[in-house]
């Protein structure tokens, strides 16, 4: 087809064309006379690639690089439009439109924005005359947003991700957002940052115990350390909480993806556990002896409703049954019950504390056995999911502290839970290589909270069984936990403000819903690697052109 004496080829669909004799083109064509005369072995020209006829959408001129839209009606038939060379306009999506490919190349993160935010932005954009093209592009964009809003199966995260918190995409996977571009800060801010608050708030309880316990009275630990650490924990919690509230307001679709993440869903309990830690470890001069029950109701209500949701999924046997999504961070949703039981005893409500302790202990046994036996039907845990393995020692230690707070004595059951946590602690300490070999991330704060919990339980045990060994063990574990918190706090500050590597692109929320096999092309194709003209020119050099067209027809 000729438009303006220039040869045009539809880069979307190539229609039947009449054979033309061009000596220059025939010189580049090779023949294979030894094989049977088939469509692939006969002399081929760059213009002879025949595909099933479909609707013309765009044509490209090989001589000038101009494009012509077949559907456009213009007074001047020879009117031309320059074809963008970036590859974003390939495939009939439009030059100015926003689609999956262009969203990834240009950094359009609206697919994860809150609906109300997108509506406000769209209302400020003036209308254009090219309503037909924009309507088509908006339909493509809405289709992509619908694809993003659908929940991602739990097993999909295990298949596509690896790393300390399933936060790194495997090489065989494709994502919805650009890897080579720095995303907005809120999209890079994960809910795992509440792990920092867990480590600091638990340290406030530890230093309160060191200052008030008769076992460590000879150290003369001032309460000022408890007050300073408590203020630091409150400040960090406020900063992280406000930042995450902004993320909820602007990128709610990213929040939904974190909720369906098998590891991060458990961290939705972390903010409320931190608040209860701060209430328990508050300095004696600033907090009354008996807290108001309303504090317990406010902080425990979100954890209770999350328990109903998470435990219901474990019990119902659906796609998120426990044997399929169980990982060490699942202990975090169980620990909330024990911490709530401790706070219930502190406010004077012993019966609700017993109720929460029974729920937590029942589910702890289920999680513990599931993670130990590794059913063949369960998803394989990532090789680098090592920091959260420390959660194994936090749950029985918190159970022992909760039992002692409810019944006002560190009796046989409390000691049994404590001995379990102590053995698991030692079994992990003797394997230092198990916790090395991967980059620093926020997940490293998972070490601090379990180590601090065991240290506090050891102090309570030393009060019941005073001896040189128990006191030395309490001091050693307390020193190790405090040292770990200090090292991680300094490392976090350096990575956040000096090196600025603490928050890389959160690839975990940008994975595709379905896994594409090798014979299928992914949803987001990387067209930017090849320009449209080079693609059109290379059509005649590959005999597999018809096969690719057939596969596209099937899609």
473 within some domain: yes
Identify the bridge partners of residue 175 per DSSP, sorted by sequence position: 511
- Number of separate domains in the chain: 1
222 within some domain: yes
Q: Are 276 and 300 in contact (CB under 8 A)?
A: yes
134 within some domain: no
Identify the bridge partners of residue 8 per DSSP, sorted by sequence position: 61
Cα–Cα distance for residue pair 491/425, rounded to 1 Å: 24
The H or E element spanning position 128 is none
13 within some domain: no
Q: What is the DSSP string of 507-555?
A: GGGGB-SSPPPTTS--SS--GGGS-HHHHHHTGGG-TTHHHHHHHHHH-
Tokens 């749950």 — which residue? 395
336 within some domain: yes
The range of the structural domain enclosing residue 339 comes to: 166-375+385-513
**pLDDT tens over the chain, length 555 residues:** 444 454 554 444 444 444 444 444 444 444 444 444 444 445 554 444 445 555 444 444 444 444 444 444 444 444 444 333 333 333 333 333 444 444 444 556 888 888 655 555 554 544 444 444 454 555 555 555 555 656 788 778 888 887 767 778 888 888 888 888 899 999 999 999 999 999 999 999 999 999 999 999 999 999 999 999 999 999 999 999 999 999 999 999 999 999 999 889 999 999 999 999 999 999 988 887 788 999 999 999 999 999 999 999 898 877 788 888 888 889 999 999 999 999 999 999 999 999 999 999 999 999 999 888 865 555 555 555 567 788 899 999 999 999 999 999 999 999 999 999 999 999 888 887 766 767 888 988 988 999 999 999 999 999 999 999 999 999 999 999 999 999 999 999 999 999 999 999 998 998 888 876 544 444 444 434 444 444 444 444 444 445 444 444 444
Question: What is the domain-level CATH number for residue 363?
Answer: 1.50.10.150
121 within some domain: no
533 within some domain: no
468 within some domain: yes
How wide is the angle at C-alpha 50 spanned by C-alphas 47 and 52, nearest 5°? 145
């Amino acid at each position: 087809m000729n438009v303006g004496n220039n040869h045009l080829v539809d880069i979307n669909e190539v229609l039947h064309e009449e054979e033309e004799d061009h000596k220059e083109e025939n010189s580049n064509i090779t023949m294979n006379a030894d094989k049977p005369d088939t469509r692939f072995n006969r002399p081929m020209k760059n213009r002879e690639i025949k595909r099933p006829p479909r609707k013309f959408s765009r044509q490209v001129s090989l001589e000038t690089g101009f494009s012509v839209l077949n559907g456009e009606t213009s007074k001047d038939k020879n009117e031309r439009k320059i074809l963008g060379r970036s590859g974003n306009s390939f495939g009939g999506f439009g030059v100015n439109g926003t689609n999956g490919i262009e969203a990834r190349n240009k950094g359009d993160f609206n697919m994860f924005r809150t609906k109300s935010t997108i509506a406000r932005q769209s209302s400020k954009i003036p209308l254009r005359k090219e309503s037909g093209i924009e309507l088509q592009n908006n339909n493509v964009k809405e289709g992509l947003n619908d694809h993003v809003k659908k929940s991602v199966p739990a097993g999909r995260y295990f298949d596509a991700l690896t790393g300390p918190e399933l936060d790194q995409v495997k090489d065989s996977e494709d994502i919805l957002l650009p890897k080579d571009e720095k995303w907005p800060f809120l999209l890079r801010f994960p809910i795992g940052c509440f792990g920092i608050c867990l480590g600091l708030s638990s340290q406030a309880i530890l230093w309160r115990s060191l200052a008030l316990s008769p076992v460590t009275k000879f150290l003369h630990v001032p309460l000022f350390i408890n007050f300073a650490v408590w203020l630091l924990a409150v400040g960090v919690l406020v900063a992280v909480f406000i930042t995450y509230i902004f993320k909820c307001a602007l990128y709610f679709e990213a929040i939904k993806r974190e909720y369906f993440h098998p590891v991060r869903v458990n961290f939705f309990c972390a903010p409320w556990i931190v608040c209860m830690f701060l209430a328990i470890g508050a300095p004696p001069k600033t907090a009354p002896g008996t807290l108001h029950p309303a504090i317990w109701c406010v902080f425990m209500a979100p954890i209770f409703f999350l328990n109903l949701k998470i435990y219901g999924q474990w019990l119902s046997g659906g796609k998120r049954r426990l044997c399929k999504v169980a990982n060490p961070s699942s202990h975090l949703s169980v620990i909330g019950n024990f911490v709530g039981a401790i706070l219930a005893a502190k406010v004077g409500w012993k019966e609700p504390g017993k109720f929460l302790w029974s729920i937590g202990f029942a589910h702890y046994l289920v999680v513990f056995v599931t993670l130990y036996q590794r059913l063949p039907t369960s998803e394989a845990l990532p090789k680098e999911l090592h920091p959260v393995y420390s959660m194994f020692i936090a749950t029985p230690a918190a159970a022992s502290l909760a039992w002692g707070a409810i019944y006002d004595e560190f009796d046989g059951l409390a000691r049994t839970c404590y001995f379990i946590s102590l053995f698991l602690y030692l079994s992990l300490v003797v394997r230092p290589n198990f916790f090395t070999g991967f980059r620093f991330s926020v997940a490293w704060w998972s070490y601090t909270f379990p180590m601090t919990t065991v240290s506090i339980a050891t102090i309570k045990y030393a009060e019941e069984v005073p001896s040189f060994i128990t006191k030395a063990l309490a001091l050693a574990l307390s020193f190790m936990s405090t040292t770990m918190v200090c090292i991680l706090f300094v490392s976090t500050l350096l990575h956040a403000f000096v090196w600025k590597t603490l928050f890389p692109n959160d690839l975990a929320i940008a994975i595709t819903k379905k896994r594409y096999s090798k014979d299928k092309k992914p949803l987001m194709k990387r067209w930017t690697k090849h320009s449209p003209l080079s693609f059109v020119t290379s059509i005649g050099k590959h005999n597999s052109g018809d096969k690719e067209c057939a596969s596209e027809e099937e899609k």
